[in-house]
Copies of this chain bind each other. A is one copy, B any other.
């Protein structure tokens, strides 16, 4: 049970009780963690500082940024099923081997290969104007001449039920609150509009900020519903259409989109720095190597990929070999449905009990602030204690989620089975400004912040992988 649940239950029992009476994390953990364990964890202070110093001031200073820049400049975006993705996987293996790490395995799997073609939306009435768009993942094509129809503006799914959209183009205009609250209009918008007879579905991009910059992303058709073309449009164009519509103007759009969808073979990549004591036990650090087909996938998830690549590399260079194996995983095809992660979970199911802890960075690699942890109370307390080692770089924040909770995109597939794990917390307030846009490039990244990320990620994984006890389930 995590603290949040604890608090809620408490309130239910003693109606007017103040949550201040609920024991703090400190109080809970001070009872759970033995003095010896705390002492053991704090004894990692020196090695933690050694890693931080090496990455921020030593030979590794700037390496994460430079390597990431070279990578994205060489391959550009790496969509699922593309040759660029496969070439970039080969490249990652090559640069890892150059570091003297040869325990590298790739695991082949079938992945969707959706290729965006020509895309154009033209407002025909009340005046002619191009609309800024990006088709959504796996969207079907329109007929060659496009789909021309009148717009119905929809604020939320409740309104969808009350309006006639038969033969119309639905334009969803939800105002961004949080990503998880707003994204259903992107992921389910087409299916739900089609159910009501719409001929195409557009969604105001899922972002709080825009410079006329549309955001692509995944969406899911339903088996028993007609597949209609679907795209995200910019905040600016969505809001303009909404204003025109609310003034009673008839808004007519022509939507032209082409795409192809087939399957290809791609690969998850597993890089092992074998443990010195219990090599069969794993502490996994990970990020996904695939990206959307726009921008360069530098932020989503080049940064997460490279700090995870850096973890075994830095430890190898410093000759710091923890008891358990550090495994870096470069997930394939996260963007089109966590395909790599599902394959890994299934393929390794018999041995996943050996995963001691699994980490992923997929929400930005701005300055790290701590970890969001999924696991039981004891697991969370141990990680919280480890995080105290990172006060000097302001990365000691522990956000607690319960056992089986998702704390990352790919690793959610594994933490949901009860494996304890963590997602990187970082100063990612602007993450969704760039997410899935042409603006996801190196300009979002900073050498200093990536160094902090690498230092934190490497040292945290090292300590957890070297502790005398396993992270409990």
Tell me which residues from 195 to 227 in chain A have a Cβ below 8 Å from any Cβ of chain B. 210-213
Residue positions of A touching B, CB distance < 8 A: 69-70, 73-76, 126-127, 129, 132, 210-213, 235-236, 239-240, 243-244, 247, 295-296, 433-434, 437-439, 441-443
Whether B442 lies near A236 (C-beta < 8 A) is yes
Whether A129 lies near B70 (C-beta < 8 A) is no
Contact of A211 among B74, B126, B211, B247 (CB under 8 A): B211
A235's closest neighbor in chain B, by CB?
A: B443
Whether B437 lies near A211 (C-beta < 8 A) is yes
Query: Within 8 Å CB of A247, what residues of B?
Result: 70
Query: Within 8 Å CB of A127, what residues of B?
Result: 74-76
Whether B240 lies near A210 (C-beta < 8 A) is no
Contact of A76 among B129, B235, B239, B438 (CB under 8 A): B129
24 contacts between A and B (CB under 8 A): A69-B243, A73-B243, A73-B244, A74-B126, A74-B127, A75-B127, A132-B438, A210-B211, A211-B213, A211-B433, A211-B434, A211-B437, A211-B439, A212-B213, A212-B439, A212-B441, A236-B441, A236-B443, A239-B441, A239-B443, A240-B296, A240-B441, A240-B442, A243-B442
Complex copy number for this chain: 2
Given A129-B76, A439-B236, A442-B236, check contact A212 B295 (CB 8 Å).
yes
Distance in angstroms from A317 CB to nearest chain B CB is 23
Question: How far is B430's CA from A433's CA once the two chains are assembled, in angstroms?
Answer: 15
Question: How far is B84's CA from A127's CA once the two chains are assembled, in angstroms?
Answer: 11
Query: Within 8 Å CB of A211, what residues of B?
Result: 210-211, 213, 433-434, 437-439
Distance in angstroms from A133 CB to nearest chain B CB is 12
Query: Within 8 Å CB of A441, what residues of B?
Result: 212, 236, 239-240
Query: Within 8 Å CB of A73, what residues of B?
Result: 240, 243-244
Distance in angstroms from A88 CB to nearest chain B CB is 12
Question: How far is B76's CA from A129's CA once the two chains are assembled, in angstroms?
Answer: 8
Distance in angstroms from A270 CB to nearest chain B CB is 28
Most buried by B among A76, A127, A441, A442: A441
Given A236-B442, A239-B442, check contact A212 B244 (CB 8 Å).
no
Query: Within 8 Å CB of A213, what residues of B?
Result: 211-213, 439
Question: How far is B65's CA from A243's CA once the two chains are assembled, in angstroms?
Answer: 12
Question: How far is B132's CA from A441's CA once the two chains are assembled, in angstroms?
Answer: 13
Distance in angstroms from A366 CB to nearest chain B CB is 16
Question: How far is B212's CA from A433's CA once the two chains are assembled, in angstroms?
Answer: 11
A239's closest neighbor in chain B, by CB?
A: B443
A295's closest neighbor in chain B, by CB?
A: B212
Distance in angstroms from A191 CB to nearest chain B CB is 28
Most buried by B among A76, A132, A240, A442: A240
Question: How far is B433's CA from A441's CA once the two chains are assembled, in angstroms?
Answer: 17
Query: Within 8 Å CB of A126, what residues of B?
Result: 74
A444's closest neighbor in chain B, by CB?
A: B236
Query: Within 8 Å CB of A74, what residues of B?
Result: 126-127
Question: How far is B70's CA from A212's CA once the two chains are assembled, in angstroms?
Answer: 19
Question: How far is B240's CA from A439's CA once the two chains are assembled, in angstroms?
Answer: 12
Question: How far is B439's CA from A211's CA once the two chains are assembled, in angstroms?
Answer: 4
Query: Within 8 Å CB of A210, what residues of B?
Result: 211, 439, 443
Distance in angstroms from A35 CB to nearest chain B CB is 51
Most buried by B among A73, A211, A441: A211
Question: How far is B152's CA from A247's CA once the two chains are assembled, in angstroms?
Answer: 51
Whether B212 lies near A437 (C-beta < 8 A) is yes
Question: How far is B76's CA from A132's CA once the two chains are assembled, in angstroms?
Answer: 14
Question: How far is B72's CA from A129's CA once the two chains are assembled, in angstroms?
Answer: 12
Question: How far is B236's CA from A417's CA once the two chains are assembled, in angstroms?
Answer: 40
Query: Within 8 Å CB of A442, what residues of B?
Result: 236, 239-240, 243
Most buried by B among A69, A132, A439: A439
Distance in angstroms from A249 CB to nearest chain B CB is 8
Question: How far is B71's CA from A244's CA once the two chains are assembled, in angstroms?
Answer: 11
Distance in angstroms from A322 CB to nearest chain B CB is 35
- Given A73-B243, A212-B438, A212-B441, 11 more pairs with CB closer than 8 A: A73-B244, A75-B127, A76-B127, A211-B211, A211-B433, A211-B437, A212-B295, A236-B296, A236-B442, A239-B442, A240-B441
